[in-house]
Each structure stands twice: as C-alpha cells, then as structure tokens.
Amino acid sequence: MRKIVSGLFISLDGVVEAPGEWHFPYFNEEMGQAVDRQMAASDAMLLGRVTYEEFAAYWPRQSSDVELADFMNTTPKYVVSNTLNAVDWQNSTLISGDVAAQLAELKRQPGKQINITGSGTLVRSLLRDGLLDELVLLVHPIVVGKGKRLFPEEDGPIPLELVSSETFTTGVLCLTYRKAEG
C-alpha cells in the first residue's frame, strides 16, 4: 500500500506560508539531500488548489535545463479541489467530491509514495481524516512572526509520534512524524 507523505518548510512559530521569503539562508547540501530523498521515494504528487495554481503558472514554462523542471512536469499530479473545474497542467488529475474515498483508493494502487508539497490546508485535512501517513517538517530556526501557520488555533489535538529526527549544520531540524496509534 502506498503512503501519502507531506514535506514542509516550517518556522519555529509554525509558519508555512511563503517559505521563499525566509528559508533560503538555511538551505544547504544536507537539506537538499533530505528533499531529494523524499522526491526519489515518490512517483506522484498531491496538491491543494492554491499550490497547484502557483506551480501550474510556473513549471510548465520551464525548460529541462531548470533544476526540478522535468520532475515537476512529468510526475503525475493529483489536485484536490472542490472549486476547480479542470486541471490543465501535464499529467494532472482533479480529485473532488468524496476526496477521502478517492485518496484511500489511490493509496491502494501499486506504486511509490505520494508526496504533498506545500498545501497546508490539505495536509491538516488529511491528518484529521487519518489519510496522511507521514509528516516531514523541516523546522527552520527562525520566528517569522506572521503568515499562515500549519496548525491554527481552531484545530483540535492530533497526537503524533516522532519516527525520525536529524539536525543539519544550519540548525534546521528534519522531523518525521506519523499519527500516534491508539
């Protein structure tokens, strides 16, 4: 059975929005290797509407000589949205309606893991519904102070267990969690 795995850049105060504005000073070879390992373990992406629209506006216009362009453009993408009517980016499939049932079916299909990049709202929803198998947080040693947080105050408790941890020389922590049993 396939796993759905989310990988997120996150600040100490829980901000996941606009990491391009704060995470680059902490990006190094160690972090690149962690991201590469997660990408190599996958053969599909799961995206929320906002992330899909941002990616679809950028990646299809990039040539093969741009790092990650081939991966982003050729990898199958599953887009979760109840507001989009169609998805036009190469290898994209729209998932709407009973999302939980469709994702459960997708997980039963053969293949590697399905990665979620960004898409905080989708990640929270899947975690609450028990469909997210792993949550990989690259915790940056910075307090951003404003922006969308992964877990807003209105979310209830979701017990998690730490599966692995790694500390990079930049002070970034790579923490992998799964939903706690019981």
By C-alpha distance, which of 169, 100, 116 is closest to 141? 169
Burial of 118 (0-12, 13-18, 19+ CB in 10 A): buried
**pLDDT tens sequence across 80-127:** 999 999 999 999 999 999 999 999 999 999 999 999 988 889 999 899
Question: Which domains are present in the chain?
Answer: 4-179 (3.40.430.10)
Distance (Å, whole) CA 109 – CA 2 = 7
pLDDT category of residue 179 using cuts at 50, 70 and 90: confident
* pLDDT tens per residue across span 21-45: 999 999 999 999 999 999 999 999 9
- Look up the pTM and report it: 0.91
Task: Report pLDDT for 108.
Answer: 94
Q: Which residue from 116, 120, 145 is spatially nearest to 133, judged by alpha carbons?
A: 116
CA dihedral 40, 16, 139, 165 (to 10 degrees): -50
